[in-house]
Structure 1
């Protein structure tokens, strides 16, 4: 091991059935900085055991102490296989047996990623077109790994369930390790929907003036396509306008930030737009033919993607009129 390499060890409290407790030190294959370290003394974890199919990710429910960690790997250009291979080997060397392994497309792409427990950005980044998943078991314990990357860095998440509850810190850095990035406090409740921004001009007038209008008060669960439960002033106003103008049609257009690949972001943005469409149809009674849903991913930003404030502005759903003439 060279002096320039940062060594980070995940001290997972792993046990053999009816055997003394053992420790598994997962050594990162490249320089790494821990971004998350979370533990639950007793919980349930739906371990993915197959590729997405028939509307769901096949899973096995595992109960026990849970440890969830993530790292950012400082290795520009490293492939996801280069990230996974040495970690997978360490798990196998510790006596675990493979359960399931896949790469992005064969996992199920978007649907597998969003049907799997994964820490949110910026703790863990998953490129929907370039990630790998691996799960293994040893007695009553399971370990799952998911790795992905950007052009500048790699990302690793490890989930361990079962065995003895943790009694020592999960991350044990060597004297060469850089300071850990502090993880934000966990959010225990979903954020309350924001009020729609006040405007002197009615929504309908803004739509008829042309262009797209952002529905600023919408709230989506982190990394998910489902619209958070609640009432939204912008959708109430849009529904009222559509009822008053039954001959008019609109398109809901989803947008994302530039994190991840284009194909996956287009899929996510379209699903978010469709969630809004379903709300209008189901909650407001708007005819399905009056509203369509589309997604353009990160292709139409309204702010810089170089900081979180800009990325947040870019994650939105807009509405635009698709009628080519005003109906009588």
Structure 2
């Protein structure tokens, strides 16, 4: 009772009271949470059946202890403006998860987590949908009790979730990843051959326009940067043609160009470098394809949103990239 009273007091102090849960309830398949008034959902990404590496311990010389969990994966992020600290955002979320029957597996602030090594060893939704400050974040891993996975005598698998909260500038970012059990249909056996229902055909690779329309963001393929370089060669400028065509076909759309780097150098220098890479792309779109500069914003994320390991040369090359994000379609 004391914990509940303390949590309620904190929620009210942060302005979390008086908000309709239906406004912030998860969409189909996700848990419902109450967040502070004004919380803005940035992204929602679903995987019907996938595997998630749930961190269950801090970084050490052996790496990060991970528990592989399979099921329906839902990834969501929010941005909150205001003066709340990372702990003030994390604590009510943690209490709500516990009230829903989750048990804490592991929790830590940035230093106890392992700082840089922990942050870049776990799954994080790419910026700008999730931004993590290496000096101010907290992580939480929770799971339903093992007996909750038994349904009608069938082990449906672990139901787990992770929460990552970080403050960057005047905003707090919150990432919630949920994995829910999926009960698969039984295998069909005929004439000694084990089979399932006919597998779905592999989806064709979407072109840039279709990918942007479907996902709202995409990596600009064909742009190659050496470590520390910002210049776009002729081949890279030609590779921007699909984006230029997309912008020409939908003259009301506006975009954000996000530059990214590998981890060579410090964060401040890399943010500036990634900003220059984004600006180089915008300049090429304006000068070579006559795109209205007012339709294109730029930002540099540095090495805060890797898509591959920075411990290998191929991984660093993948991380030296530029992404495009749809921001509006008037």
TM bracket, shorter-chain basis? 0.5 to 0.7
Structure 2, unaligned runs of 5 or more? 1-16, 150-157, 184-212, 237-258, 280-295, 305-315, 317-330
8 Å CA contact retained: 1:7, 1:31: no
> Counterparts of 1:1-328 in structure 2 under 5 Å?
1-2=17-18, 7-11=23-27, 13=29, 24-75=31-82, 77-138=83-144, 139=149, 140-164=158-182, 184-185=215-216, 187=218, 192-194=221-223, 214-216=228-230, 272-273=263-264, 295-298=265-268, 301=272, 309-311=298-300
Q: Post-superposition shift, 1:117?
A: 0.7
Look at both structures and tell me which one has the larger radius of gyration over its CA atoms.
Answer: 1
Residues of 2 paired with 1:121 and 1:65: CA distance? 23
User: 1:150 deviation in Å?
Assistant: 1.9
TM-score, normalised with respect to structure 2: 0.52
Over 3 Å counting, the alpha-carbon distance change for 1:59 and 1:158 in structure 2 is same
Aligned-residue offset at 1:87 = 0.5
Q: State the shift of 1:183 in Å.
A: 9.4
In the alignment, the residues of structure 2 paired with residue 183 and residue 196 of structure 1 have an alpha-carbon distance, to the nearest angstrom, of: 27
Please report how far the alpha carbon of residue 48 of structure 1 lies from its aligned counterpart in structure 2 after TM superposition. Answer: 0.2
Is the 2:130–2:175 contact (alpha carbons within 8 Å) kept by the matching residues of 1? yes
Q: Is the 8 A contact 1:5 1:31 kept in 2?
A: no
Q: Secondary structure at the match of 2:54?
A: strand
Equivalent residue, structure 1, for 2:292: none
More helix by share: 2
Note the C-alpha offset of 1:112: 0.7
The answer on whether the counterparts of 2:19 and 2:34 sit within 8 Å (CA) in structure 1 is no
Q: What CA RMSD, in Å, does the superposition of the two structures yield over aligned residues?
A: 4.0
The answer on whether the counterparts of 2:52 and 2:68 sit within 8 Å (CA) in structure 1 is yes
| Closer, same or farther: CA 313–193 of 1 in aligned 2, 3 Å | farther
Q: Is the 8 A contact 1:48 1:60 kept in 2?
A: yes
- Structure 1 stretches of 4+ with a deviation exceeding 3 A read 1-7, 11-14, 182-187, 190-193, 299-308, 312-315
Higher RCO structure (Cα 8 Å, ≥6 apart): 1
Q: Distance in 1 between matches of 2:106 and 2:224?
A: 44
Contact 1:8 1:26 in 2 (8 A): yes
Distance 2:73 2:299 in 1: 34
- Measure the CA separation in 2 of the matches of 1:34 and 1:48: 24
